[in-house]
């Protein structure tokens, strides 16, 4: 269990200590399944470039050379570390049991021609893989993602994150977004092999979808045709402009997620609170959720208690936070608190809840609890909980 998931912080003066891990005499290497390579600045250093980048590439190659073949399930490089073409090709050649692609992005131009030249050799890699994670930061990333998607026969997990600042400078956010006249650069490149979308066969095997920073205003003509939302088990939407359009479509019968178990929504709403309104409708229609994570800003109220109480028989983890408009960081009272009646309704519906995170009235921690907190937690809310081993955050 100690070696199953390994995270290495590289690029510092003490990288030589990793030689022990990379030694062929290390009996733990055969037990490694997941490897994460992170830059040392995450623990305090300032940069990762130049000589440190060459040093990191050498360490990665040493590790790949030492690992037994076909033991890894995940190999991930955390930004700004990227694999060289040689290391990427060597990884795919020796670790064809990888279940997730896309984390290890190349750094020196496109690697697609080299992958195409080894298509027969890498056939087993794409057959075993079922998960694709893409951080859209350049045209090369989009092209490589399209290459992966076209060759992975059954994609079960798809994560797409669109960064605000793109590396090559040639892609502007407006170009990436879908528009009223047609798909944007992101969808028409990544899903090029599925065009035209109105006649394509959706990704019916997809069970988990995560979208971060992806514009969804015109998703009805793109993502809703590309993906079969009825079969989704997990859905994550973070900071996506036009998220209300997607939630509105999901409330309709043709795209209604009948098997949804996990829903994560993080959003800065508009003045009309359209995302909040669409979420309330969706929660009143869907049932069977086990994990519900909601983090909303610029809203007038929390999601309706009726929709959350509807999930009470199955919900295991609940995190609901909503903040009023304005500078949240400067106002410690900006978080919205449930009224006693709604909090009691929500708590009494829980049967399997294990973790609850929400806003509470202010109270000192080194003196007697405030009257509002006692009334909120003891007098009305928690008395209705019918659960054990509950963690309150």
> What is the average per-residue pLDDT within 164-191?
80
Mean pLDDT to the nearest integer, 5-29: 87
Dist CA 34 CA 177 (whole Å): 33
Instruction: Kindly report the average pLDDT of the chain as a whole number.
Output: 86
Which of 74-88, 157-171, 221-235 has the highest average model confidence (pLDDT)?
Answer: 221-235
For residues 218-222, give the mean pLDDT.
Answer: 95
End-to-end CA distance of the chain: give it in Å, rounded: 28
Give 329's pLDDT tier (boundaries 50, 70, 90): very low
Contact 349, 381 (CB under 8 A): no
Q: Is the pLDDT of residue 47 over 50?
A: no
Tell me what pLDDT residue 327 has: 55
Cα 40-44-50 angle, rounded to 5 deg: 45
Q: Read off the pLDDT band of 373 (50, 70, 90).
A: confident
Q: Side-chain half-sphere of 123: how many Cα atoms within 13 Å?
A: 2
pTM: 0.89
Cα 92 to chain centroid distance, Å, stands at 24
pLDDT at 84: 86
The reported pLDDT for the residue numbered 109 is 60
pLDDT of 339 strictly over 90: no
- C-alpha–C-alpha distance, residues 60 and 65, integer Å: 9
Give the C-alpha separation, 46 to 112, whole Å. Answer: 32
Residues with Cβ within 8 Å of 105's Cβ and at least 6 positions away in sequence, in order, are 77, 82, 83, 135, 141, 144
State yes or no: pLDDT of 379 exceeds 80. no
Q: What is the pLDDT of residue 214?
A: 95
pLDDT one-digit tens code per residue, 50-69 = 566 788 888 899 999 999 99
How far, in Å, are 55, 139, 148, 184, 192 from residue 189 at the CA level? 34, 9, 12, 8, 5
C-alpha 231, offset from chain centre: 18
- Specify the pLDDT at position 208: 97
Read off the pLDDT band of 231 (50, 70, 90).
very high
Place of tokens 């359209």: 274
Which residue has better confidence, 276 or 24?
A: 276
Between helix 51-66 and helix 85-94 the angle, nearest 10°, is 10
Which range among 13-27, 97-111, 206-220 shows the weakest confidence by mean pLDDT?
Answer: 97-111
**Pick from 154, 226, 153, 220: which is nearest to 189 by CA?**
226
pLDDT in tens, 82-140: 888 899 999 999 999 999 998 756 655 678 899 999 999 999 999 999 999 998 878 88
- Mean pLDDT along residues 354-368: 81
Predicted local distance difference test score (pLDDT) of residue 263: 98
Picking from 265, 264, 316, the residue whose alpha carbon sits closest to that of residue 288 is 316
- Per-residue pLDDT of 151-173, as tens digits, reads 998 999 999 998 765 555 557 77
% of the chain beyond a pLDDT of 90: 58
* Structure confidence at residue 49 (pLDDT): 52
pLDDT band of 348, cuts 50, 70, 90:
confident
Lateral strand order in the sheet of 131-136: 100-101, 131-136, 157-162, 208-212, 234-238, 262-268, 291-297, 317-323, 355-358, 391-392
Pick from 113, 63, 67, 97: nearest CA to 83: 63
Q: Please, how many CA atoms are within 13 Å of residue 2, restricted to the half-sphere of its CB?
A: 5
Confidence of residue 259 (pLDDT cuts 50, 70, 90): very high
Mean pLDDT of 7-18: 86
CA distance 278 to 6: 41
Residue 259: strand, helix, or coil? coil
Q: What is the number of other CB atoms lying within 10 angstroms of the CB of residue 327?
A: 7
Give yes or no for residue 390 having a pLDDT over 70: no
Q: Where are the domains of the chain?
A: 1-96
Residue 19 tokens, joined:
């030689």
280-309: b or e for each residue (b if 16 or more CB lie within 10 Å)? bebbeebeebbbbbbbbbbbeebbbbebbb
Q: What is the pLDDT of residue 326?
A: 62
Quote the pLDDT of residue 6: 93
Q: Considering Cα of 121, then 127, then 128, then 129, what sign does the dihedral take?
A: positive
Q: Can you tell me the distance from the alpha carbon of 291 to that of 93, in angstroms, rounded to the nearest whole number?
A: 37
Round to whole Å and give the CA distance between 161 and 168. 16
Q: Residue 41: how many CB atoms within 10 A of its CB?
A: 15
Q: Which of 151, 143, 156 is nearest to 185 (CA)?
A: 143
Kindly report which listed range (35-49, 110-124, 183-197, 335-349) carries the lowest average pLDDT score.
35-49
């Amino acid at each position: 269990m100690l070696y199953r998931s390994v995270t290495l912080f590289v690029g510092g003066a003490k990288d030589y200590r990793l030689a022990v891990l990379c030694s062929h005499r290390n009996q733990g290497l055969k037990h490694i399944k997941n490897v994460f390579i992170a830059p040392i600045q995450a623990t305090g250093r300032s940069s990762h470039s130049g000589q440190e980048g060459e040093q990191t590439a050498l360490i990665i190659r040493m590790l790949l050379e030492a690992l037994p073949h076909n033991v890894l399930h995940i190999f991930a490089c955390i930004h700004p570390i990227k694999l060289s073409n040689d290391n990427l090709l060597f990884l795919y050649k020796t670790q064809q049991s990888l279940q997730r692609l896309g984390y290890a992005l190349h750094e020196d131009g496109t690697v697609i021609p080299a992958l195409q030249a080894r298509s027969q050799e890498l056939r087993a890699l794409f057959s075993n893989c079922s998960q694709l994670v893409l951080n859209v930061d350049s045209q090369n990333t989009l092209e490589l993602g399209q290459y992966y998607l076209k060759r992975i026969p059954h994609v079960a997990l798809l994560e797409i994150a669109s960064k605000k600042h793109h590396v090559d400078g040639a892609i502007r956010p407006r170009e990436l977004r879908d528009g009223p006249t047609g798909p944007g650069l992101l969808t028409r490149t990544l899903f090029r092999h599925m065009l035209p979308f109105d006649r394509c066969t959706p990704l019916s095997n997809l069970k988990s979808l995560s979208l971060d920073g992806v514009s969804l205003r015109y998703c009805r003509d793109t993502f809703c045709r590309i993906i079969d939302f009825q079969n989704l088990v997990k859905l994550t939407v973070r900071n996506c402009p036009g998220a209300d359009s997607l939630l509105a479509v999901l409330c309709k019968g043709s795209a209604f997620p009948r098997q949804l178990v996990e829903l994560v929504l993080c959003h800065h709403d508009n003045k009309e609170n359209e995302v909040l309104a669409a979420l309330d409708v969706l929660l009143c229609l869907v049932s069977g959720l086990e994990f519900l994570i909601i983090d909303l800003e610029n809203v007038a109220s929390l999601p309706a208690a009726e929709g959350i109480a509807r999930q009470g028989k199955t919900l295991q983890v609940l995190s609901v936070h909503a903040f009023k408009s304005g500078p949240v960081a400067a106002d410690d009272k900006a978080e919205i608190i449930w009224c006693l009646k709604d909090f009691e309704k929500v708590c009494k519906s829980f049967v399997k809840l294990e973790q609850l995170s929400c806003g509470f009235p202010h109270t000192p921690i080194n003196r007697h609890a405030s009257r509002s907190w006692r009334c909120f937690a003891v007098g009305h809310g928690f008395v209705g909980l019918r659960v054990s081993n509950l963690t309150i955050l």
